[in-house]
Amino acid sequence: MKNENKGWKNLFDSLKLNHKFTLVICFLVALPISVLAGVLFYNMEQNVITENRNYMEYTMERNWDHIRKNIDSVNMTTQFFLNDEALLQTLQKSARSEKMTTDELLSFYHSDISALERLVSNNTLLYGVHVYAINDHVQEMMPILYSHSRMQKMAWAGETDLEGWHYQYEDVLFGNRGTTQIAALVTKIEDYENGLIGVMETAVTMENMFPPLYEKVEDEWSCFISDKGELYFGEKEADASVEFARLNMEWNLKQDGMYARYLKQDGGHLIVSGLYIRELQGRLLSVKDISDQVRYVYRMRNIFVAVMLVILVGLAFLINYIVKRLLRQFYEILKSIRLIQKGDLQVRIDACGNDEMGELGTQINKMLDHIEQLMKENIDREILAKNSQIRALQNQINAHFIYNVLESIKMMAEIDEEYVISDAITSLGNLLRYSIRWVSGNVRVEEEIAYIKNYLILINLRFDYEIYLSLNLPEEVMKQEIPKMSLQPIVENAIYHGIEELAEDTNIYIKGIIRDEACVIEISDAGKGMEEEELKRLRKRIAGEMEPDGGDGNGIGLKNVQDRIRMSFGAGYGITVDSKSGCYTKVTVRVPAYRGEERKNHENGADRRR
């Protein structure tokens, strides 16, 4: 974010002064208009949402009044049937498998069944009331009384718990499947002596029970969701099933009361209203799509923005013309500055007065004086740098004296047949020659490996055990370039922090491979390793996230290697450390790989730098 803000600032700073004034004035004009327009169109959008939410709340209240009437009618009819003594006696006799005489059946049909049938027919809210015996030892009297086998045809008959509401099934009492979807309250009929003696089904049509499911209103859908998570739709199931399923997962359907909510989903704008009906053990949900209304507000907003942009562009040209007329004196001073840019540092701007423009000229004159002073200081620094290079050459000359002395000592050792001393002096000489040799660029891996070999020869003179160097480096890896002294500090760390405490013969393994346009070199030892916490601290020190504590093994050497690699090749390269306590430590070095002609060109450039 800081870099982005800095980029905008730099862009603004690079503009001409008249353009800056124009932008600032346009911004000051556009800002209050944008705020007012934003508030206006936001309120318009909220008004659309509020109006539709109020409409959905009113519609849900109206639906609730209708559904409550149906529930009351069903409950009253159910209670009336349960209090009918003649009907209960008939079911009791059926439960005891007692047969009724013809006279009893005729009397029961004409006096009781007919009255119950009239009661159902006169109630326009009901679809029908069916009473089922618990067996087939009953004389069926349609449309009220039926045998147990007839009940088994109903969709709800196989459920474990028959009692309660059942929704959206067809009346198949006589085997014919109808087109009418019904909902019914199923009630068990019981008495003290016989227990369960029958089952009563008080039914209404789904369209009568839930009118919003069947209303053909554009951009509106409804469904009923039971506490079991079952969804029931009307004629718009194909359009709304997925939407309702998602709402069923997102909201708590056991919540009591009525509500209406605004929802943005998948680019659409919806008003969702819900009503939990405790008696029906479920929730009625309705959805109204107000996307067209909201998009109309957005379209009006976009038109307003387009018109304002056209006005602002015209205003910007007018303001720019006025500002340029006001800054004529400033541009006269600018001409003198351009002469200075061409190299004429002797130019001085005459005083233009006591106003801001005159002050600007005075400050430019001071700047020119300061530039002349800085140029003199730069010349002095270049002279100092040349002197430093001369001293570096002198140090190289002194190094030749050391090499000559070592050669003389080596010859004396060979004359006395002290070949171990002679070999040690040879390795030491190679070590010094590599260390003191001035190199402005990088070195090849093979040069660094040769230095490590000489280093191990000298290190093995100190110990009673032997440290061997195992190499698996292809020729392509050996020709790659790395910063000088970038592998040796890793080997030194492996000896002093991983191997020395074990005091036994061991190996240091160096393996290289070209992978994904990078040269990867792994340096491993079979030393004491590190605990997880110690490894985390080392990684933080290498990454610069933790300051070294100044103690032994504080990771300074590895951090220096990391910094030098990144300075040479960039942040995408460097070292990583892996270790396991009591087993091993592995340091992986990753540098860019050069292939074929690319390496040849790079090596030629490196040779010229040397």
One-letter amino acid identity for 309?
Answer: L
Could you tell me if 555 and 541 are in contact, meaning their C-beta atoms sit under 8 angstroms apart? Answer: yes
- Final residue of a structural domain among 148, 181, 209: 209
Would you place residue 75 in the very low, low, confident or very high pLDDT band (cuts 50, 70, 90)? very high
Does residue 574 lie in a domain region?
A: yes
In the predicted structure, residue 108 carries a pLDDT above the cut 80 = yes
Does residue 232 lie in a domain region?
A: no
**DSSP label at residue 114:** H
Domain that holds residue 150: 84-209
Does residue 519 lie in a domain region?
A: yes
Could you tell me if 298 and 89 are in contact, meaning their C-beta atoms sit under 8 angstroms apart? Answer: no
- Final residue of a structural domain among 145, 179, 209: 209
Total domains in the fold of the chain:
2
- Final residue of a structural domain among 181, 209, 237: 209
For the purposes of burial, counting CB atoms within 10 Å of the CB of 257, is it exposed (0-12), middle (13-18) or buried (19 or more)?
Answer: exposed
Q: Say whether 174 sits in a helix, a strand or coil.
A: coil
Q: Which residues on neighbouring strands pair with residue 224, listed in sequence order?
A: 232, 284
**Other CB atoms within 10 Å distance of the CB of residue 418:** 14
For 118, the token pair is 């009239």
Does residue 505 lie in a domain region?
A: yes
**Other CB atoms within 10 Å distance of the CB of residue 40:** 13
Which pLDDT score is estimated for 255? 54
CA distance 530 to 546: 18
More confident residue, 494 or 510: 510
Indicate which CATH number applies to the domain containing 102: 3.30.450
- Could you read off the pLDDT of 163-208 as tens digits, one per residue? 889 998 888 877 666 678 899 999 999 888 888 899 999 999 998 9
CA distance 401 to 454: 21
Does residue 256 lie in a domain region?
A: no
For 435, the token pair is 């260390």
Contacts from 237-245 at CB under 8 Å and sequence distance 24+?
Answer: 240/287, 243/270, 243/287, 244/285, 244/287
> Over the chain, what is the mean pLDDT?
79
Which pLDDT score is estimated for 215? 83
Which pLDDT score is estimated for 592? 92
Could you tell me if 40 and 297 are in contact, meaning their C-beta atoms sit under 8 angstroms apart? Answer: no
Does residue 229 lie in a domain region?
A: no
Let me know the angle formed at the C-alpha of 474 by 468 and 475, rounded to the nearest 5 degrees.
115
Give me the mean pLDDT over the 256-268 stretch.
78
More confident residue, 588 or 542: 588
Phi (first) and psi of residue 253, to 5 degrees: -80, -5
Angle, helices 114-122/17-82, rounded to nearest 10 degrees: 160
CA distance 269 to 248: 18
Ramachandran sector of residue 466 (left: φ over 0; alpha: ψ -120 to 50; beta: rest): beta
Give me the mean pLDDT over the 537-543 stretch.
86
Which pLDDT score is estimated for 413? 62
In the predicted structure, residue 433 carries a pLDDT above the cut 70 = no
Sequence-distant (6+) residues with CB within 8 A of 460 are 466, 467
Query: What's the whole-model pTM score?
Result: 0.51
Does residue 167 lie in a domain region?
A: yes
One-letter amino acid identity for 377?
Answer: E
In the predicted structure, residue 341 carries a pLDDT above the cut 80 = no
Q: Which residues on neighbouring strands pair with residue 258, listed in sequence order?
A: 275
Sign (positive or negative) of CA dihedral 41, 45, 46, 48 = positive
Does residue 544 lie in a domain region?
A: yes
More confident residue, 441 or 102: 102
CA distance 491 to 472: 15
In the predicted structure, residue 342 carries a pLDDT above the cut 50 = yes
In the predicted structure, residue 25 carries a pLDDT above the cut 70 = yes
Which pLDDT score is estimated for 254? 47
Q: Which residues on neighbouring strands pair with residue 225, listed in sequence order?
A: 231, 283
One-letter amino acid identity for 281?
Answer: Q
Indicate which CATH number applies to the domain containing 589: 3.30.565.10
More confident residue, 330 or 445: 445
- Could you read off the pLDDT of 597-609 as tens digits, one per residue? 555 555 555 454 4
CA distance 609 to 184: 95
- Could you read off the pLDDT of 274-298 as tens digits, one per residue? 888 888 888 888 888 888 899 899 8
CA distance 164 to 282: 12
Angle, helices 556-569/532-543, rounded to nearest 10 degrees: 40
CA 296 to chain CA centroid, nearest Å: 32
Could you tell me if 587 and 558 are in contact, meaning their C-beta atoms sit under 8 angstroms apart? Answer: yes
- Could you read off the pLDDT of 126-174 as tens digits, one per residue? 999 999 999 888 888 888 899 888 888 888 888 888 888 999 888 887 7
Give me the mean pLDDT over the 97-114 stretch.
86
Which pLDDT score is estimated for 582? 85
Whether residue 143 has a cis bond before it, omega within 30° of 0: yes
Would you place residue 555 in the very low, low, confident or very high pLDDT band (cuts 50, 70, 90)? confident
In the predicted structure, residue 553 carries a pLDDT above the cut 50 = yes
CA distance 162 to 141: 23
